Amino acid sequence: MEKILVEVSARHIHLSRADMDVLFGEGSELHPIKYLSQPGQYASEEKVTLKGPKGTAGVRVLGPLRKETQVELSLTDARSLGVKAMIRESGVLDGTTGGLTVVGPKGEIALDRGVIAAKRHIHMTPADAEKFGVNNGDVVAVKVVTDGRSVVFADTVVRVSDSYSLAMHIDTDEANAAAISGTAEGEIVAF
């Protein structure tokens, strides 16, 4: 079976147009510094500070702008900030909590929702899905073999779109659990 590239997402934020205006100024734009594996997605020059009840953390803004602001934390990040992060797929924010203040160079916003720990997932094209014998929304297990800390990641959601390219995304806690630094390779297995 073909191996899947496993990439690690550090904590980050996606911003809405309205929140971008408040944090960076009316009509401000993001400045891409690094394009990510998913077409059109990038890390920007722009950073903000998250303030929680127990601590603060700097995060990079990922572009492009989205319909709604979303903060993606590891559960360790959430604990040190003193907030709750529900495990959710990106963009599925109903019922999520906030509790963070986002501080930018031009202003700040108080979030009352949109703080999540991203549910681990695999992006794939329809052709990839056919090859792996899976469908959009399927939940699979992915085995990642590392030096002394191999892990099978169950509860991994398959997300299929023409606009994706094949890659699995995990957060820094998940990466640390498997001693992954940089990227790794995974394989869908029966679980």
Q: Name the site residues for Zn ion (rule: CB under 5 A).
A: 169
Smaller CB separation from Zn ion, 11 or 169: 169
Tell me the residue type at 37: S
Phi, psi for 149 (deg, rounded to 5)? -140, 40
Q: What angle do CA 1, 182, 176 make, to 5 degrees?
A: 90
**Least distance in Å: CB of 173 to Zn ion?**
16
Distance from C-alpha of 26 to C-alpha of 47, rounded to nearest angstrom: 17
> Positive or negative, the Cα torsion across 180, 183, 185, 188?
positive
**Least distance in Å: CB of 3 to Zn ion?**
17
Smaller CB separation from Zn ion, 11 or 51: 11
Residue nearest to Zn ion (CB): 169
**Least distance in Å: CB of 118 to Zn ion?**
7
**Least distance in Å: CB of 54 to Zn ion?**
27
Smaller CB separation from Zn ion, 4 or 109: 4
DSSP states of 14-28 = E-BHHHHHHHH-TT-
Smaller CB separation from Zn ion, 51 or 169: 169
